[in-house]
Amino acid sequence: MTTETVIQQATSPETTTASTETTPTSTTTGADHTEHVDLLVIGWGKGGKTLAGTMARAGKKVAVVEQSEMMIGGSCINIACIPTKILVHDAENKRADDDVDEYFAKAVERRDTLTGAMRKKNHSMLADLDSVLLVNGHAEFTGEREVRVTGGADTMTITADTVVVNTGSVANIPPIDGAQLGGRIHDSESLQHVDPFPKRLVIVGGGYIGLEFGSMFAHFGSQVTVLDRGPRPLANEDDDVADVVAQALADDGVTIVNDASVTAVDDGADAATVTYEVGGETKTIDAEAVLLAVGRKPATADLGLEKAGIDTDDRGFIVTDEYLRSSAEGVYAFGDVNGGPMFTYISLDDNRILADQLLGDGKRSTKDRGSVPYTMFLTPPVARVGLTEKAARDEGYEIKVGAKLQADIAAAPRAKIEGDPRGIVKFVVDAKTDLVLGAALVHVHSQEVINTVALAMRHDVTATELRDTIYTHPSATEALNEVLGALK
Supply the CATH number for residue 404's domain.
3.30.390.30
How much is the pLDDT for 154?
83
How much is the pLDDT for 32?
78
- At residue 7 the predicted structure's pLDDT band, cuts being 50, 70 and 90, is very low
- Looking at 262, 278, 294, the residue that finishes a domain is 294
Which is higher by pLDDT, 34 or 21? 34
Does 210 belong to an annotated binding site? yes
How much is the pLDDT for 152?
72
Asked whether residue 56 falls in the same domain as residue 163, the answer is yes
How much is the pLDDT for 413?
95
Residue 405 lies in a domain: yes
Which tens digit of pLDDT belongs to each residue from 218-277? 999 999 999 999 999 999 999 999 999 999 999 999 999 999 999 999 999 999 999 999
Asked whether residue 158 falls in the same domain as residue 192, the answer is no
Does 207 belong to an annotated binding site? yes
Does 208 belong to an annotated binding site? yes
Does 386 belong to an annotated binding site? no
Does 205 belong to an annotated binding site? yes
* % of the chain beyond a pLDDT of 90: 92
Does 53 belong to an annotated binding site? no
- Looking at 294, 309, 339, the residue that finishes a domain is 294
Q: What backbone phi and psi angles, to 5 degrees, belong to 7?
A: -70, -35
Catalytic residue selected from 123, 193, 443, 473:
473
How much is the pLDDT for 82?
98
- Quick check: 29 pLDDT over 70? no
**Mean pLDDT of all residues in the chain?**
93
* Number of structural domains the chain divides into: 3
Query: In a 10 Å sphere around its CB, with 0-12 CB exposed, 13-18 middle and 19+ buried, how is residue 74 labelled?
Result: buried
Residue 452 lies in a domain: yes
Asked whether residue 229 falls in the same domain as residue 343, the answer is no
Asked whether residue 156 falls in the same domain as residue 222, the answer is no
How much is the pLDDT for 30?
38
- Quick check: 22 pLDDT over 50? no
How much is the pLDDT for 255?
98
- At residue 17 the predicted structure's pLDDT band, cuts being 50, 70 and 90, is very low
How much is the pLDDT for 12?
54
Asked whether residue 348 falls in the same domain as residue 384, the answer is no
Does 85 belong to an annotated binding site? yes
Which tens digit of pLDDT belongs to each residue from 110-142? 999 999 999 999 999 999 999 999 999 999 999
CB-based contact 350:343 (threshold 8 Å): no
Asked whether residue 224 falls in the same domain as residue 115, the answer is no
Asked whether residue 121 falls in the same domain as residue 82, the answer is yes
- Quick check: 420 pLDDT over 60? yes
Short-list 339, 337, 345, 335, CA closest to 447: 345
Does 206 belong to an annotated binding site? yes
- At residue 151 the predicted structure's pLDDT band, cuts being 50, 70 and 90, is confident
Residue 26 lies in a domain: no
- At residue 51 the predicted structure's pLDDT band, cuts being 50, 70 and 90, is very high
Asked whether residue 47 falls in the same domain as residue 142, the answer is yes
- Please tell me whether the overall predicted TM-score, pTM, comes out greater than 0.85 for this model: yes
- Quick check: 106 pLDDT over 50? yes
Asked whether residue 401 falls in the same domain as residue 469, the answer is yes
Q: Does the active-site annotation cover 473? A: yes
Which tens digit of pLDDT belongs to each residue from 372-398? 999 999 999 999 999 999 999 999 999
How much is the pLDDT for 181?
98
How much is the pLDDT for 486?
96
How much is the pLDDT for 13?
59
Please give the residue range of the domain that contains residue 342: 33-170+297-359
How much is the pLDDT for 14?
52
Does 295 belong to an annotated binding site? yes
Asked whether residue 263 falls in the same domain as residue 348, the answer is no
Asked whether residue 196 falls in the same domain as residue 323, the answer is no
Residue 9 lies in a domain: no
Does 446 belong to an annotated binding site? no
CATH code: domain of residue 255: 3.50.50.60
Asked whether residue 240 falls in the same domain as residue 115, the answer is no
